[in-house]
Amino acid sequence: MKRSLQNVVGPQVRALRRKQGMTQDALAARCGTLGWDATENTITKIETQLRCVTDREMILLARALRVRLHEFFPEHTKLFQ
């Protein structure tokens, strides 16, 4: 049974988080300081593409990871230049 992917940014969120040596719980906590009550489970579902990500959540994830939005789409970087 093939699962339906709910977002395209999940794997890159995971990669960026791991690059910074951050746990899912730490990322969720950082999101909380920005006004989004995300849990470790929320981050897990996003990273495994089981949960949709709203525009607002994507912006907050970028702020929490201290990256620019286009870094969630590395294979499409030319679209942002």
Q: Is residue 33 part of a domain?
A: yes
User: What pTM value is reported for the model?
Assistant: 0.87
Q: What is the CATH number of the domain that holds 44?
A: 1.10.260.40
Q: What is the pLDDT of residues 32-64, one digit of tens each?
A: 999 999 999 999 999 999 999 999 999 999 999
Report the C-alpha gap between 24 and 65 in whole angstroms.
11
Share of the chain above pLDDT 90, in %: 78
pLDDT of amino acid 14: 97
User: Alpha carbon 17 to chain centroid distance?
Assistant: 8
Helices (H), 1-81: 10-19, 24-33, 40-47, 55-65
Mean pLDDT over the full length of the chain: 91
Residue 32 CB partners (closer than 8 Å, separation 6+): 38
For residue 42, what are its two tokens? 């929320």
Q: Is residue 4 part of a domain?
A: no
Report the C-alpha gap between 9 and 35 in whole angstroms.
20
Q: Is residue 76 part of a domain?
A: no
Q: Domains in the chain: how many in total?
A: 1
Q: Is residue 61 part of a domain?
A: yes
- Residue range of the domain that includes 65: 10-70
Q: Is residue 42 part of a domain?
A: yes
pLDDT of amino acid 1: 58
pLDDT tops 80 at residue 74: no
Q: Is residue 51 part of a domain?
A: yes
